[in-house]
Amino acid sequence: MTGADFSGKGLESFCAIGSRFEGCSFSRVKIGSAVWGGGRKRSTYLDCSFDGAKFRSIVPGNARFENCTFRDVRIYEFFAHDVELVNCVFSGRIDRGFLSRTRHRDRSFFSRRRSQIVNNDFSGCDLVDFTFRGGVDLTLQKLLRPEVRLRG
């Protein structure tokens, strides 16, 4: 799909399998449970907006997000073994979860062993009970707001 507008929709669940979304708006959607990429064939999201969205539980699955915005989102659970995130911007709040660069051990049928997670901006996002796992290079992510200074 190109340029589709799903803004403001309310869904109990969402699952995309082998899909491609380009320039689509998922702004202000409310979804109970989302799998952005189910199955063996990856789903891709290019230049999509998820601004103002609310998600109860996300297991991104076999999905790639490139140049997407997730501004002012509210995510209650985010468990990401297989997702790829490239040049995405996050703000708002994520309660509980993880982002892993290493693929899930039961996913041997995928062609790649590691997911690409680079150049993302999490500086405006409150990450509560959230971890980066499996070799996510934190030097390739923006994590701190400019006004925050680490003291040591």
Domain boundaries, the chain: 10-142
SS3 state at 11: strand
Residue 3: burial class (beta carbons within 10 Å; 0-12, 13-18, 19+):
exposed
Order of strands across the sheet that contains 63-66: 20-22, 43-46, 63-66, 84-86, 117-118
Instruction: Round to whole Å and give the CA distance between 85 and 116.
Output: 6
96 forms beta bridges with none
pLDDT recorded at residue 82: 86
Quick: pLDDT tens for 45-80.
999 999 999 999 888 889 999 999 999 999 999 988
pTM reported for the whole predicted model: 0.88
87-104 mean pLDDT: 90
In the numeric block, the tokens 């979804």 are attached to: 31
